[in-house]
Amino acid sequence: MNAIKMLVQQHRQMEEALEAVSKAEGKARATLFNQTADALMSHVMVEETHFYPAVNAHRTEGILLESLEEHLSLKRILADLIALPPDDARFEPKFHVLKEQAEHHHEEEEEKLFPKVAKLLTPDELEELGETMLAAQEKLLAADTREHAPRQTRAAAELK
């Protein structure tokens, strides 16, 4: 699967899932939140370990560094949320910030990064990269991927 198409598709799925968490209550909210947090964290980790290194070039470096800082912010909010019971008064406002930041981050990647990547890699390369990323994500999702978030809150990941 084409790496850009895969990431865009996951952005839309994540936005729907974030919306569903906002509307859910009680136990359903906790379950949906855990699923969404796993999806978000696995997406971010696959971008950091596979996609960003593969598309790191002079013309993408600035936006990649900014993206990594946005990932750090998302991980910090996720780590906070994981530590909170979903019925805690702080859960709702914090979750709203996560949702807004995720939406903003998706927009930035899609408008600023992906058009550059589409020129940088050939369709075949994008296809191969997508396959590698899907396999890596599947492995990550075999465990509770969200649990990685609290261990990655010190600094942004390094750009390789």
Which of 74, 81 has the CB closer to Fe ion? 74
Stretch that binds Fe ion, among 16-24, 80-88, 106-114, 139-147 (CB under 5 A): 106-114
Which of 47, 80 has the CB closer to Fe ion? 47
49 burial via Cβ count (<10 Å: 0-12, 13-18, 19+): middle
The residues near 22 (Cβ < 8 Å, ≥ 6 apart) are: 95, 96, 99
The residues near 158 (Cβ < 8 Å, ≥ 6 apart) are: none
Q: To the nearest 10°, the Cα dihedral for 144, 146, 148, 151?
A: -140
- Smallest separation (angstroms) from Fe ion to the CB of 123: 20
Among 38, 47, 48, 80, binds Fe ion (CB under 5 A): 47
> Number of residues in contact with Fe ion, rule: CB under 5 A?
3
Which of 38, 109 has the CB closer to Fe ion? 109
The residues near 54 (Cβ < 8 Å, ≥ 6 apart) are: 3, 121, 125, 129
Question: In the complex, which residue's CB is closest to Fe ion?
Answer: 47
Stretch that binds Fe ion, among 56-64, 78-86, 103-111, 122-130 (CB under 5 A): 103-111
Residue whose C-alpha is closest to residue 108's, from 41, 61, 63: 63
Asked if 48 is part of the footprint of Fe ion (rule: CB under 5 A), the reply reads no
Site string for Fe ion, 2-21 (x = CB under 5 A): -----x--------------
Which of 38, 47 has the CB closer to Fe ion? 47
Paired tokens of 106: 């998706």
Residues that bind Fe ion (CB under 5 A): 7, 47, 109
